[in-house]
Chains A and B, each alone.
Chain A
């Protein structure tokens, strides 16, 4: 039996700021997930041409001047919007917060591709003469850019950096924030993940070359994890950053609490560049459960990672069947079916859309499953319509990524 941590070691979520292709705050996002509203639209990008993507429509100028938007990156703007919204949502007395005790930990799948592609494209017009290469290239492409732009925008002087963790980055950012709070490195962590990946043609072209880019005549039906006719990933942009605090601090200021980080795990497949490994995924989920002191049947909702690829979805389902075979209480859903794959933001966005279930007890569905692939058949996969559950005490959020990185986060109702 795991002993309960002291309040100073208990980490809680007190603020959420997000932008998703189908919502620019938690309320809108949750409503879209319950009403089956997709955020995937037809999209065109240089060289690749017509494709599909999840595009965000948040107001960049709400927290940035036009000059800041021009100088920075899309990931930076996504990060700033989410961080500002999260702090506002947390109700923390920001004017009187010691900014040197705030840490920023932003998960990214990749960063710098967008800006590099743009510069090379521009340079072509100057016959590749590098005297026309922008002095903005380096500050835009350093790996800490999204976190650094948040620091600059909000005057935060504590630590800031990005966490490169492929498509597990949203969870990894959240975990990093919690760890730094536990270490006493900061008193308030702004953490999660962001993505600007829809602005790089390379990610579309690479998935296409891999045979893993989704196609469908109806954009809203293109992202279809678990469906027998799924044909790949819909790339999306977005962001979701959390305000995390120690429970002792949150309680002291009477903060509203979305949930407590009950357990987490990150491990590695060490088996393939792109193919997932269900054994390691199952081990990752098991480890998160073990650290939380929970049995599988105590998890009410599992937010799956499934991206809509033929092998990836089946592999994750194999891992989940293994871990949850004894549980008739656990329900499964998927957010990518609504918004596509938000890459570095996926983990944190997908978790956030499930958190309101602690209060409304509704498990949002997976959409676009017309015919369930038998290889993806898991009991209690919620397809098509939301389902009201008896109670929701624990939510587990899976996020996996290339090079074999697996992550699982468990949040407990407070």
Chain B
């Protein structure tokens, strides 16, 4: 999966867990929490959806890597390089 495809996956997941948010204006370098109403349960949703959809595991010590779109994509690239986009 390319970095752009990973970004699309995250946008799709965010669309499910934060359906009231406008995601078109999301800035990749700014923390999700500074742009969206997300709490710890939402970040667990992101982790769970990655696990369910792509069997990608994000261990608890790495949760901080999911702070922004940029850091999330950078973190997931090596984990998802051999994964086909659903």
When distances are taken between beta carbons in the complex, the residues of chain A under 8 Å from B37 are: 67
Say whether A135 contacts B41, CB under 8 Å: yes
**Also in contact, A67 and B17, with CB within 8 A (given A126-B52, A132-B51, A132-B52):** yes
How many A residues touch B, CB cutoff 8 Å?
11
Taken together as a complex, chains A and B put the C-alpha atoms of A67 and B39 apart, in Å, by 12
Q: Which residue of B lies closest to A139 (CB)?
A: B41
A135 to B17, Cβ gap below 8 A?
no
Bound Cα distance A376, B17 (Å): 52
Q: Tell me which residues from 32 to 86 in chain B have a Cβ below 8 Å from any Cβ of chain A.
A: 37, 41, 44-45, 48, 51-52
Q: Which residue of B lies closest to A66 (CB)?
A: B19
Out of B16, B19, B20, B48, name the residue touching A134 (CB < 8 Å). B48
Q: Are B52 and A70 in contact (CB under 8 A)?
A: no
Q: Which residue of A lies closest to B52 (CB)?
A: A132
Q: In the docked arrangement, what's the CA distance between A2 and B19, Å?
A: 57
From B18, B19, B44, B51, A131 is in contact (CB under 8 Å) with B51
Interface size on B, residues (CB 8 A): 12
**How far, in Å, is A123 (CB) from chain B's closest CB?**
11
Could you say which residues of chain A place their CB within 8 Å of the CB of B19? 66-67, 70
- Expressed in whole angstroms, the minimum distance between the Cβ of A135 and any Cβ of chain B is 5
> A50 on the interface (CB 8 Å rule)?
no
| Chain B residue contacts of A70, Cβ below 8 A | 16-17, 19
Q: Does A46 contact B (CB under 8 A)?
A: no
Instruction: Choose among B16, B20, B48 the residue that contacts A135 (Cβ–Cβ < 8 A).
Output: B48
Q: Which residue of A lies closest to B47 (CB)?
A: A135
**Interfacial residues of chain A within 142-195, with CB under 8 A of chain B in the complex:** none
CA gap between A44 and B18 in the complex, in Å: 29
> Which residues of the partner chain A approach B41 to less than 8 Å between Cβ atoms?
71, 135-136
| Cβ of A62 under 8 Å from chain B | no
CB pair B20–A67 under 8 Å, yes or no, is yes
Chain B residues whose CB sits within 8 angstroms of the CB of A253 once the complex forms? none
Contacts of B48 in A (CB 8 A): 132, 134-135
A65 at the interface (CB under 8 A from B): yes
Give bound CA distance, A70 to B16, whole Å.
Answer: 9
Q: Which of A50-104 contact B (CB under 8 A)?
A: 65-67, 70-71
Most B CB contacts (10 A, CB to CB) among A67, A132, A134, A135 go to A67
| B52 in contact with A135 (CB, 8 Å) | no
A132 — which chain B residues lie within 8 A by C-beta?
Answer: 48, 51-52
**Nearest Cβ on chain A to B6's Cβ, whole angstroms:** 21
Distance of A66 Cα from B22 Cα, bound (Å): 13
- Name the A residues within 8 Å of B16 (CB-CB): 70
Q: Within 8 Å CB of A126, what residues of B? A: 52
From B18, B44, B52, contact of A67 by CB (8 A): B18
A135 CB contacts on chain B under 8 angstroms: 41, 44-45, 48
Q: How far is the CB of A313 from chain B (nearest CB, A)?
A: 45
Give A66 to B48 CA distance when docked, in angstroms.
Answer: 20
* Minimum Cβ distance to chain A for residue B80 (Å): 18
Q: In the assembled complex, how far is the CB of residue A62 from the closest CB belonging to chain B, in whole angstroms?
A: 14
| Residues on the A chain within 8 Å of B52, using CB | 126, 132
CA distance A180 to B17 in the complex (A): 38
A71 to B45, CA, bound (A): 10
B20 touches A65 (CB 8 A): yes
Name the distance in Å between A121's Cβ and chain B's nearest Cβ.
14
Q: Which residue of B lies closest to A68 (CB)?
A: B20
Q: Kindly list the 8 A-B residue pairs having the minimum CB-CB distance in the complex, ordered from nearest.
A: A66-B19, A65-B20, A135-B44, A66-B20, A67-B20, A67-B18, A67-B19, A132-B52
Q: Chain A interface (Cβ within 8 Å of chain B)? A: 65-67, 70-71, 126, 131-132, 134-136
Sample (20) of A-B pairs whose CB atoms are under 8 Å apart: A66-B19, A66-B20, A67-B17, A67-B18, A67-B19, A67-B20, A67-B37, A70-B16, A70-B17, A70-B19, A71-B41, A126-B52, A131-B51, A132-B48, A132-B51, A132-B52, A134-B48, A135-B41, A135-B45, A136-B41
**Given A65-B20, A132-B52, 12 other A-B contacts at CB below 8 A?**
A66-B19, A67-B17, A67-B18, A67-B19, A67-B37, A126-B52, A131-B51, A134-B48, A135-B44, A135-B45, A135-B48, A136-B41
